[in-house]
Amino acid sequence: MSQADWEVVIGLEVHAQLTTASKIFSGASIAFGAEPNVQASAVDIALPGVLPVLNRGAVDRAIRFGLATGARIAPRSVFARKNYFYPDLPKGYQISQYELPVVAGGDIAIRVGDGDQAYEKSVRLTRAHLEEDAGKSLHEDFHGMSGIDLNRAGTPLLEIVSEPDMRSSAEAVAYAKALHTLVRWIDICDGNMQEGSFRCDANVSVRRRGEQAFGTRREIKNLNSFRFLQQAIDYEVRWQIELLEDGGSVHQATVLFDPDSGETRMMRSKEDAHDYRYFPDPDLLPLAIDGEWIDRVRASMPELPAELALRLQRTHGLSAYDALTLTSSRELARYYLDTVDAAGGELAKLCANWVMGEFSARLNKAEIGVADAPLAPTRLAGLIRRIADNTISNNIGKKVFDALWNGEAASADAIIAAQGLKQVTDAGAIEALVEGVLAANQKSVDEFRAGKEKALNALVGQVMKASRGKANPSQVNELLRRKLTN
């Protein structure tokens, strides 16, 4: 048998840290990077006698998520205690939601693969519930002891659980990315994976094609990059298939992924699983959410990425791929829309090309976000207009783009004027250049006439070079062809 005989089944649990200013049950700040334990209040330390008070901002964000995924928002949900002992869990229990979560159902549309191989599918969500994060155990620098940092204890999380709807690591990554885009888009999570604001656990199992029942799953914990998610799943799938093909059986377990070795390794088996003794937290009343609360949140919701992508395809004439790329973040989408606004709606496709191409490449190279780009959408639009009206060629456009990005002038027009980049469209001038090039490149001329189409490109290049890039390339092309075939 081979891997093709097996079907992979994946479900994801994502912990998204919410963007509230303070913790879910105390007033302490959740800002990242503070000195250990300075952001731990009496409640977070679990001193005797303290009590939790729910941060309604966390609930607002859960409602936003529910609305964005078409889920049901529970009119009544319950906080429960998940009991276990660990030094970074100060109360000896985590407050979470168990039987009655705040959000149930919903789905997320994903697009998997590129080009002709690309396909779309919908991943169903089981639930999303609110809970508090634990603190951190620090095992270095304490001379054989462990240090405890409770700054993170009580940080609000939305745990988003999918159905086991994904059938490959590519689908899992596409889902995780779509979710990552969405939570940032609706501004409930900053998505910073390095700081642990968005962490994935993957439940992975395999079954022989055609089988109805799911195989036994293993859960890979705490994957904090899309690359690790993919690598961990791929490794785990190979491991499970090999085991099964060798006649073994998978036992339910929790595993960790080691990025250095690229392998997963067992953390605990099902037999070691805790009995968490869940029960409703008597310190917190059931969470009641009425229609008015939901309406208030709905009124503050932005247009969702899926809605915007559809609109871009319909009214801007963009491809599904372009629409998805431009809606990968709210900032990029905003930048694109502002560029189109300034350039004119008829140039939408050209704007899309520039925003996805040169602009995105520059951001990546500079390792900055859209917000820090030194080029305003109106200036990019000014450049795009000059390309559209043939004042400059696309290639010269890149030169102008560089100058704008580097702040050499305030507008594309100023750069074109200052550097004399205006495209030469005067037929007489171009003809003179063409004749000069033909005379000097008899070899290429002969080759073209002998049927070597490529030779034309060399000649076009020579003319463009002679014009210092300013000649209109399509005019050059046309004229050369005419002269050579006459």
Partner 1 sequence: MLNASLQELASALADRRISSVELTRSALDRIAAENPRLNAFVHVDEEGALAAAAAADARLAAGEAGPLTGIPLAHKDVFCTAGMPTTCASKMLANFVSPYDAHVVAQLKKAGTVLVGKTNMDEFAMGSSNESSHFGATRNPWDLARVPGGSSGGSAAAVAAGMVPVATGTDTGGSVRQPASFCGVTGIKPTYGVVSRYGMIAYASSLDQGGVLGRSAADCAPVLSAMAGFDPRDSTSLERAAEDFGRDLDKPIDGLRIGLPREYFGAGMDDDVRAAVDAALDTYRKLGATTVDIELPNSKLAIPAYYVIAPAEASSNLSRYDGVRYGHRAADYADLADMYCKSRAEGFGSEVKRRILVGTYVLSHGYYDAYYLQAQKLRRLIAEDFRRAFERCDVIAGPTAPTTAFELGSKCDDPVQMYLGDIYTVAINLAGLPAVSLPAGFGNGGLPVGLQLVGDYFAEARLLNTAHRFQQATEWHKARPAGAGDDEGSPT
In the complex with partner 1, the residue whose CB is nearer, 53 or 417, is 53
Residues 266, 279: Cα–Cα separation, whole Å: 29
- Whose CA is closest to 472, among 398, 384, 394? 394
Helices (H), 21-168: 42-45, 56-68
Check residue 140 for interaction with partner 1 (CB under 8 A). Answer: no
What letter does residue 438 receive in the DSSP assignment?
Answer: H
CB of 50 to partner 1, least distance (A): 7
Please identify which residue in the block is written with the tokens 């229990």.
93
Residue 288: helix, strand or coil by DSSP?
strand
Chain centre distance of CA 271: 36
Determine the interface stretch with partner 1 among 251-259, 276-284, 371-379, 450-458 (rule: CB under 8 A).
276-284
Check residue 54 for interaction with partner 1 (CB under 8 A). Answer: yes
Check residue 51 for interaction with partner 1 (CB under 8 A). Answer: yes
Size of residue set near partner 1 by CB under 8 A = 28
In the complex with partner 1, the residue whose CB is nearer, 6 or 79, is 79
Residues 270, 289: Cα–Cα separation, whole Å: 36
Q: Which of 45, 237, 383, 387 binds partner 1 (CB under 8 A)?
A: 45
Residue ranges in 345-404 that form contacts with partner 1 under rule CB under 8 A = none
Check residue 48 for interaction with partner 1 (CB under 8 A). Answer: yes
Please report which helix (H) or strand (E) contains residue 435, including its range: helix 427-440
Q: Which long-range contacts (CB under 8 A, 24 or more apart) does 30-33 make?
A: 30/152, 30/154, 30/155, 30/156, 32/192, 32/195, 33/195
Binding mask 3-42 for partner 1 (x = CB under 8 A): ---------------------------------------x
In the complex with partner 1, the residue whose CB is nearer, 48 or 247, is 48
Are 291 and 280 contacting, i.e. CB atoms less than 8 angstroms apart? no
User: Quick one: 163 exposed, middle or buried, by C-beta within 10 A (0-12, 13-18, 19+)?
Assistant: middle
CB of 199 to partner 1, least distance (A): 24
Check residue 424 for interaction with partner 1 (CB under 8 A). Answer: no
CB of 274 to partner 1, least distance (A): 10
Determine the interface stretch with partner 1 among 70-78, 124-132, 274-282, 297-305 (rule: CB under 8 A).
274-282
Check residue 87 for interaction with partner 1 (CB under 8 A). Answer: yes
Q: Which residues bind partner 1 (CB under 8 A)?
A: 42, 45-54, 81, 83, 85, 87, 90-93, 148, 275, 277-279, 282-285
